[in-house]
Amino acid sequence: MENGLNNLFAYSTLALYNNFKSVTPPTIISHIPSPTDYDYSNGYIERYFLQKSNDINSHIIEISANDIQQSTNNYYYTVASLTWRLTGSPQEIMDSNAKSIKSAITTIPNISHYLSNLLQFAKIK
């Protein structure tokens, strides 16, 4: 009887593994934001990023707000969002964006490598 339970456990484990293996991750489409006049008048945009959950050294991909929902409920990827400052003095913009990156680092540790230009999209006042 004990042998039968071991076989049942082995079968269940293999079935679970094979089901997990057959699930394919969703197709991810990279997105580079294009701030609008409204975004510049607001001074900020939201940016969304994901990275493979099992590899902190994998590529970081920026995605659109529309794609964030399908990625949030997906165990293949870790998702982070941040508020990106667009306007102000160069120092204000860099300080604000550095703080946003610092908060996102807790979710995606190497995001600072992806966002190395703190003045990206900036309109200097």
pTM (2 d.p.): 0.77
- The one-letter amino acid at 3: N
pLDDT of residue 8: 54
Cβ-count burial 81-120 (b if 16+ within 10 Å, e if not): bbebbbbbeeeebbebbeebbeebeeebeebeebbeebee
In degrees and rounded to multiples of 5, residue 114 shows phi and psi of -75, -40
Within its chain, how far is the Cα of 64 from the centroid?
10
In angstroms, the CA 92 to CA 115 distance is 16
What does the domain layout of the chain look like in residue ranges?
Answer: 26-124
**What are the mean pLDDT values of the chain's consecutive 10-residue runs (125 residues total)?**
51 54 68 96 96 92 85 78 97 98 96 97 91
